[in-house]
Amino acid sequence: KLQSFDINAKPPVTHAQIEKLQKEIDNSRCEYEILKQKIAHWMPCDEP
């Protein structure tokens, strides 16, 4: 029987882990913006 298994049981997430994740997200967003600017520079999309 699997009834004793708690599906909702999650490992506790520490504040440090959340901050680390937030930092990684911010870095990814920043890299994405830089990449977007590079692409816009090399392949200008002036025409619709």
pLDDT tens for each residue of 9-33: 777 778 899 899 999 999 999 999 9
pTM of the full predicted structure?
0.51
CA distances from 25 to 2, 6, 19, 48 (A): 36, 30, 10, 31
Q: SS3 for 38? A: helix
| C-alpha triplet 32, 46, 33: angle, nearest 5° | 10
Please tell me the predicted confidence (pLDDT) of residue 11.
72
Terminal Cα-to-Cα distance of the chain (whole angstroms): 59
